A and B are shown apart, each in its own frame.
Chain A
């Protein structure tokens, strides 16, 4: 292993992690937050008071939710923000997917993609944030991702509720001929206490809609919250227990045809020829569509389409990448680290000088490719009629998909209609345009007909946008008191953010720094006088993309395993060692201490059991986890996970807990089993039997503690995932007396 000081081409200033919420919306006038009521379509008897809510004569309040519901609970947490300020009963709330409009753009996700410290007020970061926010509004990036939904909606959706309540109160005051200050609101009713008269929101809505909104209306102070902070039941659950929830794959019309597809197994390959003679008498077959790198069969139902596809004799040319394998990819990473062509993501003091010629503690870690394997296989329905296209797809970025579809179809964006049903899992996969573009190519052969493309599970796993593999090297030195003096971390991986951007905007010049590479590796909270964090981007012919927690999914494993190695070198307890480096970080300290106490860290364990700890901040939240693990003939068993999260203001504690459970299972599946291998330029895994998922009987008992710190809201969809792999690996390392340095964790049966 060599450590090159590298050519530092770019030096980023400030932290890569953090909120940005207040900075973001501080740029907008309150009126901009409310939007035009005309953008939210109304039904019979309904009236919209702003872009975020409409009220029916029966008092039912329908909230426009601008993010996709993929299990993370936005159909509940976001309407709660409106309902709190509006003063309506939770049972009166309904949810609708918001249309595409700039008022619904996700500002926080844009600001957070700028590689600057949110607390840095100097001109360059400030200008960049302003630009990102304005561009975000102009493009209306309605992205569901980056664990930003609550953070982004926190101000505008509460403001929308409060402004609507104010309009209803003023309408009631006019009707009752009293002063608005003498009126109270509760559960959708305006009451004049002095005379006992009252009016329902339903009866006032039309008059209220004629009034001008007061956009800088006061918001409730925290102690007045009735709903926020309570485990309000999810709005999407009743339909999901009776089979009534509609996912993209459930889309149907009277004329619907269904397509199955087989893509060149080797990425970058092309279709040579198709022999269809065996399909001639097959039932239901409508069309065989030959594409540049794939064949699709369109039939009257999925079964007929898949049967005919299987009966085709297809020849693909593998293209230029047929020699690539997992091991050749790893070799390229090692070479890239040796070559030392880095971007610097953090530089403090002089780590290189401090480590040169000294005995350093060194380590190397790596992780493999991972697929998303959403339970709902990828699918997309398309109907192209004359100069209009309709697209039905569970998606995480409707406006980006619309832009890309319009470009492909050479239509104005307003003639492309994106319909967003529920998502059967997203995890970053469903922001990608590849499946939609495939469906468009097929539907273009059948104008006027609705065509639903459904991927088989094999196609879903073999044609994903994968979590990239990554390789990380560390070198560090402790001072005489056993504290970290110098820390040098070099990472090699393909650049996720740039890969995603490149697919959405093929003409964009790429190659600069990409915060996803070093998120979770740079600007850690641990005090270190000399620190250097560098990354080198490696080309990958395997498409890579956002996967729950993105760069944090590997960097937390690297850094938190290395922290345990340093603790061991210092002869310190892993938690004490971390605490001693967190003196100026009260939130992290509180998380770690509560974690230590609730897990019984110092209590004796049964023979053959061990505990491991990890702490990680991501997406504005701090999460600590302790895993209790045993080992039996090489089989790792995780018995119990204690999880503590400080996500600032809590909107719905039960959803926070559910997301911790969810994130832990996602990360634990990857830690114990997750590996997608490449041979001959193609993915070798094909379905759940060889891309194993954690099952119920392997499920550890998870105990989650949520700290209400009062800080601005943090994310919850992703932050539960990063710490579990290092927590388990650190425990297994104790049991095997050998450091675990790669995922998935493999232990020889002899131990």
Chain B
């Protein structure tokens, strides 16, 4: 598989969830363990550009696929979502934020100008610090910023 642009060959138990391959085998600890039952979204990464929760996803399923983690989201410069996250001062404890940002970035891949309803439907990650209002604001801001960059 490819992780953040680098080809990676692994010999691991095919049932091992991608989360633990990333964290414990590849040392990419930006992706977080939150619940182990794909309920909270802290473990969200991109597989082929789409948001996927990885704590129950056997690594064998993503063999040969292209994976992007929070560490690989910025290319040369920060992704508009990351920039918007800083501008809106979204994170508090920050633990859920990698997954939150990956989910938001995938939403923008799919819908460059998401509505509030799109955000409600897609952003199902749990944040115990209650950053949701700023998450919504940052997604709208990133949309505006991305549009400005395109022009």
List residues of chain A with CB under 8 Å of any chain B CB. Answer: 69-73, 231, 233-234, 236-247, 249-250, 252, 258, 283, 301-303, 373-377, 422-427, 454, 456-458, 654, 658, 661-666, 687-689, 693-697, 699, 701-702
Contact = CB atoms under 8 A, between A and B. Distances in A.
Interface in B73-126: 73-74, 78, 82, 85-86, 89-98, 101, 119-121, 123-126
Main secondary structure of the interface of B (DSSP, over half): loop
Contact of A688 (B25, B40, B90, B119): B40
Nearest to A689: B39
B39 to A, nearest CB: 4
A303 B94 contact: no
A68 to B, nearest CB: 10
Nearest to B73: A242
A662 B92 contact: yes
A688 B94 contact: no
A661 B93 contact: no
Contacts of A427: 128
A423 B93 CA distance: 7
A252 to B, nearest CB: 7
A236 B93 CA distance: 9
A241 B97 CA distance: 7
Complex A-B, nearest 4 residue pairs according to Cβ-Cβ distance, in ascending order: A243-B30, A665-B130, A424-B95, A71-B92
A70 B82 CA distance: 20
Contacts of A693: 40, 126, 128
B89 to A, nearest CB: 6
Interface residues of B, number: 58
A423 B74 CA distance: 24
B129 A240 contact: no
B130 A661 contact: yes
Given A250-B29, A688-B39, A697-B120, A241 B133 contact: no
B92 A375 contact: no
B22 to A, nearest CB: 10
A72 B131 CA distance: 12
**Highest count of chain A CB atoms <10 Å: which of B40, B93, B135:** B93
Given A303-B20, A661-B131, A687-B35, A241 B93 contact: no
B85 A241 contact: yes
A500 B123 CA distance: 37
B130 A249 contact: no
**Highest count of chain A CB atoms <10 Å: which of B17, B32, B95, B119:** B95
Nearest to A301: B24
A609 B32 CA distance: 39
A688 B124 CA distance: 12
Contacts of B134: 658, 661
Contact of B36 (A243, A457, A696): A457
A234 B123 CA distance: 24
A662 B101 CA distance: 18
Contacts of A694: 130, 132
A282 B49 CA distance: 34
Interface of B: 13, 16-17, 20, 23-25, 27-37, 39-40, 42, 69-71, 73-74, 78, 82, 85-86, 89-98, 101, 119-121, 123-136
A241 B31 contact: no
Contacts of B94: 71, 236-237, 239-240, 245, 422, 424
A213 B13 CA distance: 61
Main secondary structure of the interface of A (DSSP, over half): loop
B89 A237 contact: yes
A701 B136 CA distance: 11
A233 B89 contact: yes
B67 to A, nearest CB: 14
Nearest to B116: A697
A233 B70 CA distance: 22
A688 B31 contact: no
Given A241-B90, A424-B95, A457-B37, 6 more contacts: A237-B85, A243-B70, A376-B34, A661-B131, A662-B92, A666-B130
B92 A377 contact: no
A656 to B, nearest CB: 12
A303 B58 CA distance: 11
A696 B124 contact: yes
A701 B133 CA distance: 7
Contact of B32 (A376, A662, A666, A701): A376
Contact of B89 (A70, A234, A422, A665): A234
Contact of B37 (A250, A689, A696): A689
19 contacts: A70-B93, A72-B92, A237-B90, A241-B86, A243-B98, A302-B24, A303-B16, A374-B95, A375-B93, A375-B127, A375-B129, A376-B32, A376-B34, A376-B95, A424-B32, A457-B35, A662-B92, A688-B126, A695-B124
Given A243-B31, A375-B128, A425 B121 contact: no
Nearest to A457: B35
A422 B32 CA distance: 14
A302 B28 CA distance: 14
Contacts of B31: 243
B30 A244 contact: yes
Contact of A71 (B126, B129, B135): B129
Given A249-B33, A283-B13, A693-B126, A242 B132 contact: no
A323 to B, nearest CB: 30
A375 B78 contact: no
Contacts of A237: 85-86, 89-91, 94
Contact of B93 (A242, A425, A689, A695): A425
Contact of A696 (B35, B73, B136): B136
Given A233-B89, A236-B91, A666 B128 contact: yes
Contact of B82 (A241, A249, A301): A241
B128 A661 contact: no
Nearest to B20: A303
Given A71-B94, A243-B69, A457 B34 contact: yes
Contacts of B85: 237, 241
A454 B34 CA distance: 11
Contacts of A688: 35, 37, 39-40, 126
A303 B54 CA distance: 13
Given A241-B97, A425-B95, A695 B89 contact: no
Nearest to A690: B39
B91 A241 contact: yes
Given A71-B94, A425-B93, A666-B130, A242 B37 contact: no
